[in-house]
């Protein structure tokens, strides 16, 4: 039984609290500043979009696109082997040497906190996300069984990685953030994690709310937040 029917996840997450986040992120070639500045850039861009002239979902799409773009800029300018991943229209920033990829997604109200249950993504996901999450699970299992680095064969370099999610949830006052490794996608719903690295909340101004889940594909932008009416 998975966590979506039972009371607890099948694989309880390792939770890295905010005060330990800097050290854990450094092991991955990241920093808290990278994460917070990227999310802030996304929120700043969202706040400049006027709903009077733009489609209602445009602020959310802008939030996703600008957050990912800012994270890519942060990592590529470090000149440490980071690249832009777009295989199968799946947008990431990745390192072939580290075998890590990062995507930006929207999470529910349990994002960024050690709450009653792990967060879930707010949008039903399509086959590309499932492939990534299933590969995460396979890599974790193989690494546990043989205690050796897992070598992916015959995959594009941006897919031959563990794919971590930069999960973002915005409420009226703050944006809550975590960088987490998903391990299960049941019926398109992602909500089980190997590890969750919690980041201190980021203050934000203006009323915001998660956009309702859209189509269950991965070809459109990832909606994040929009202003309430």
What's the pTM?
A: 0.85
Q: Over 19-69, what HEC string results?
A: HHHHHHHHHCCCCHHHHHHHHHHHHHHHHCCCCCCCCCCHHHHHHHHHHHH
| DSSP line for 83-97 | EEE-GGG--EEEETT
Q: What's the pLDDT tens digit per position in 57-88?
A: 888 888 998 999 999 999 999 999 999 999 99
- If one compares 77 and 218, the residue with the highest pLDDT of the two is 77
Distance, in Å, from the CA atom of 70 to the CA atom of 68, rounded to the nearest integer, reads 5
Q: What's the pLDDT tens digit per position in 104-163?
A: 999 999 999 999 999 999 888 888 999 999 999 888 866 555 444 545 458 999 999 999
Residue 114: the pLDDT is: 96
Structure confidence at residue 10 as a pLDDT band (50, 70, 90): low
């Amino acid at each position: 039984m998975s966590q979506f029917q039972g009371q607890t996840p099948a694989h309880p997450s390792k939770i890295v609290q905010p005060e330990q986040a800097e050290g854990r992120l450094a092991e991955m070639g990241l920093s808290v500043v990278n994460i917070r500045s990227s999310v802030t850039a996304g929120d700043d861009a969202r706040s400049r979009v006027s709903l009077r002239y733009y489609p209602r979902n445009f602020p959310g799409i802008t939030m996703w696109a600008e957050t990912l773009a800012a994270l890519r800029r942060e990592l590529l300018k470090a000149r440490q082997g980071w690249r832009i991943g777009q295989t199968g229209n799946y947008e990431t920033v990745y390192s072939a040497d580290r075998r890590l990829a990062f995507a930006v997604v929207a999470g529910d109200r349990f994002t960024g906190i050690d709450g009653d249950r792990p967060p879930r993504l707010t949008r039903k996901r399509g086959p590309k996300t499932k492939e990534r999450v299933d590969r995460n699970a396979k890599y974790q299992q193989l690494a546990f069984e043989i205690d050796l680095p897992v070598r992916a064969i015959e995959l594009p370099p941006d897919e031959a990685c563990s794919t971590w999610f930069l999960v973002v949830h915005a409420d009226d006052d703050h944006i809550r953030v975590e960088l987490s490794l998903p391990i299960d996608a049941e019926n398109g719903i992602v909500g089980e994690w190997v590890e969750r690295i919690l980041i201190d909340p980021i203050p934000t101004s203006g009323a915001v709310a998660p956009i309702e889940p859209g189509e269950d594909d991965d070809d459109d932008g990832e909606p994040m937040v929009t202003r309430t009416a």
